[in-house]
Amino acid sequence: MTERTRRPSAPTIYDIAEKAGVAASTVSRALNKPGRISTETEARIRAAADELGYRLNPMARSLQSGLTGNLALVMSDMTNPVYFDLVRGAERVTADAGCTLLFADSQENVDIELDAAQRLLRVADGLMLVGSRLSDEQILSLSALKPVVTVNRLVDGIPAATAEVEVGVHQAVRHLHELGHRDIVYLEGPSASWMNGRRHEVIAADAAALGMTVTFLDSDGPTIEGGHAAVPRVVATGATAVIAFNDLLAFGLLQGSREAGVDVPVSLSVVGFDDIFGANLLTPPLTTVRSHMRNLGEAAVLALRNAIAGEDERETERPATELIVRGTTGPVAPAGP
């Protein structure tokens, strides 16, 4: 057997206590309750701790307090670039608070999601659900265990962080209207997605207010393939513009259109949601509604920490959305009936 690095068992507060000639409880207080112990004793203890390379055993503390200092995040699909900034923001704020972020991907699968949520909840103080596909009941049952915060989803009695929807959609619909579009398609996301419902509603309302016709088309899934497969059905509607539930769908729409010989943006305008990685790299670059996911991630962590602390859930601010106009939208083709 190879000579491997010895990993001696970590020093405990008892080791420190012995070295400093005090009781373990005194060490604990010296390290955690500022002012509780006399200055010189505390200094002696800290010196001993440093010398021993002491590191607190979080499990022991957790056992006592019931709190782990971990926050869990379960998302529907980490491969979806939408969530990058969200995770970044969440991770950042979590670390700033001295906590650590646990994290799982449900791959758009309810069973996996539920399983991951329950698994993480055992070792975390609370849970954030992003783009959850769980039912309201399932979410409520999770929240019976530990505090739960939903992101871009509203469940009665559960604190939530949501991005504002209206402004971005409003800008997008108006933008299409100004370009002369009157018949548009909304390519739906997953029916279990709360955010999809919101976008659907707001688009319907805005379009109606401007006298535009909207056809709602289901997609196979919020993916590139889903968008690709939807092209024939979109074309069949005769609409001159499509708003897709997300950029992945829009990517697929673009890809499928090219293969089908449909010229974007000349004969079809395409708008996505989220402004994910790559949206500006395509040719033409994608017009899309950006939401500030980073802020959303931060807001979620804040809300969760509030819930864990048992504070009254204050209204969290809703990160804004805005239309980014690029190359996939253009004036409706002059060709008429």
Residues in contact with DNA by the rule CB under 7 A:
9-10, 12-14, 21-26, 28-29, 31-32, 35-42, 54-57, 60-61, 63-66
Distance (Å, rounded) from C-alpha 153 to C-alpha 155? 7
Distance (Å, rounded) from C-alpha 259 to C-alpha 58? 57
The residue among 3 and 40 lying less far from DNA, judged by its C-beta, is 40
3-state secondary structure of 202: helix
CB under 8 A: which stretch of 19-27, 98-106, 165-173, 229-237 binds a second copy? 98-106
Residue 314 interaction partner, one of a second copy, DNA, none, beta carbon < 5-8 Å per kind: none
- Contacting a second copy (CB under 8 A), which of 37, 81, 134, 290? 81
Q: Does 104 bind a second copy (CB under 8 A)?
A: yes
The residue among 31 and 333 lying less far from DNA, judged by its C-beta, is 31
All residues at 6 or more sequence positions from 335 whose CB lies less than 8 Å from its CB, including other chains: none
Distance (Å, rounded) from C-alpha 328 to C-alpha 282? 10
**Phi and psi at residue 68, in whole multiples of 5°?**
-100, -20
Residue 38 interaction partner, one of a second copy, DNA, none, beta carbon < 5-8 Å per kind: DNA
- Contacting a second copy (CB under 8 A), which of 122, 201, 232, 259? 122
The residue among 61 and 182 lying less far from a second copy, judged by its C-beta, is 61
Of 198, 180, 183, the residue nearest 273 (C-alpha)? 198
Q: Which long-range contacts (CB under 8 A, 24 or more apart) does 145-150 make?
A: 145/118, 145/121, 146/121, 147/304, 147/307, 147/308, 148/307, 149/300, 149/303, 149/304, 149/307
Residue pair 162/154 in contact by the 8 Å Cβ criterion: yes
Q: How far is the CB of 62 from DNA (least distance, A)?
A: 8
Q: How far is the CB of 33 from DNA (least distance, A)?
A: 7
Helix 136-143, helix 110-123: angle, nearest 10? 10
Residue type, 255: Q
Whether the bond into 265 is cis, omega within 30 of 0: yes
Q: CA 96: distance to chain centroid?
A: 18
Q: How far is the CB of 301 from DNA (least distance, A)?
A: 23
Q: Does 335 bind a second copy (CB under 8 A)?
A: no
The residue among 100 and 107 lying less far from DNA, judged by its C-beta, is 100
Residue pair 129/148 in contact by the 8 Å Cβ criterion: yes
* Positions 3 through 42 that interact with a second copy (CB under 8 A): 5, 7, 9
* Positions 136 through 195 that interact with a second copy (CB under 8 A): 143-146, 157
Q: Does 105 bind a second copy (CB under 8 A)?
A: yes
Q: How far is the CB of 300 from a second copy (least distance, A)?
A: 16
**Phi and psi at residue 316, in whole multiples of 5°?**
-90, 150
Q: Does 100 bind a second copy (CB under 8 A)?
A: yes
Residue 25 interaction partner, one of a second copy, DNA, none, beta carbon < 5-8 Å per kind: DNA
Distance (Å, rounded) from C-alpha 114 to C-alpha 7? 37
Q: Kind of pairing, strands 269-273 and 287-291?
A: parallel
Q: Does 266 bind a second copy (CB under 8 A)?
A: no
Q: How far is the CB of 57 from a second copy (least distance, A)?
A: 8
Residue 143 interaction partner, one of DNA, a second copy, none, beta carbon < 5-8 Å per kind: a second copy
Q: Which residues bind a second copy (CB under 8 A)?
A: 1-2, 5, 7, 9, 55-60, 62-63, 66, 68-70, 78-79, 81, 84, 87-88, 91, 95, 100-105, 115-116, 119-120, 122-123, 143-146, 157, 224, 251, 255, 277-278, 281-283, 312
